[in-house]
A and B are shown apart, each in its own frame.
Chain A
Amino acid sequence: KNQVEQSPQSLIILEGKNCTLQCNYTVSPFSNLRWYKQDTGRGPVSLTIMTFSENTKSNGRYTATLDADTKQSSLHITASQLSDSASYICVVSDTNAGKSTFGDGTTLTVKP
């Protein structure tokens, strides 16, 4: 069964600090991995998408890494801002375009 596990479940950091969120998956055969940001009560917004051949991708202060061998990904947030407070969801798709497995997300709280 395809699974996506995210850690930590929740995280509190001070404004301006960096943090790293983890995603481990067992989805096979692998197609792509995406990170989404979801504000409370809103739809997820895409941050990055990585395919098998990519091991790092940046989007502003967000940098995602992918190790397809160990089936791990991380999302690094640099110089956090209060607006970064949200749930960050890792989504892994297999080669069947209709099948994506979502993690339960990491809830990040940035405090002043």
Chain B
Amino acid sequence: DAGVTQSPTHLIKTRGQQVTLRCSPISGHKSVSWYQQVLGQGPQFIFQYYEKEERGRGNFPDRFSARQFPNYSSELNVNALLLGDSALYLCASSLELLMNTEAFFGQGTRLTVV
């Protein structure tokens, strides 16, 4: 049974460009969350989606956007990239939106902005 899969695994972009990261949740999981993890720090919450609707948003600028598709996969888009956007972007899926539902993380996408 496949876990949470993210693509691509690594990405190098230039300042000002746009990037799209993809996440496929565990089969049957309806909720997907996105996190940004800068080296040496814990993950910071960006978005949570459930049943294709945004259900939570962290303190990130409008350059960050996301969506969830009918098959529950998700995309995270970042526009006008800055050097500070360089980080490991993690996707987590959970069965439901319930408070105590277990969340499973993907391997992450390492984004480097030069």
Instruction: List A residues at the B interface (Cβ < 8 Å).
Output: 4, 31-32, 34, 36, 41-46, 49, 51, 89, 91, 93, 95-105
Of the candidates A32, A42, A103, the one whose C-beta lies within 8 Å of that of B100 is A32
Contacts A31-B100, A96-B56, A97-B98 given: A42-B43 contact, CB under 8 Å?
A: no
Could you list 17 examples of A-B contacts with CB < 8 Å? A32-B100, A41-B108, A43-B107, A44-B90, A46-B103, A49-B102, A93-B99, A96-B56, A97-B99, A98-B45, A98-B55, A102-B35, A102-B43, A103-B42, A104-B40, A104-B42, A105-B42
What CA separation (Å) do A32 and B100 show in the bound complex?
A: 6
Instruction: List B residues at the A interface (Cβ < 8 Å).
Output: 4, 33, 35, 40-45, 48, 55-57, 88, 90, 92, 97-108, 110
Nearest CB of B to A110, in Å: 20
Nearest CB of A to B85, in Å: 18
Contacts A49-B100, A97-B55, A97-B97 given: A42-B107 contact, CB under 8 Å?
A: yes
User: Cβ of A46 and Cβ of B102 under 8 Å apart?
Assistant: yes
Question: Which has the most chain B C-beta neighbours within 10 Å: A36, A96, A98?
Answer: A98
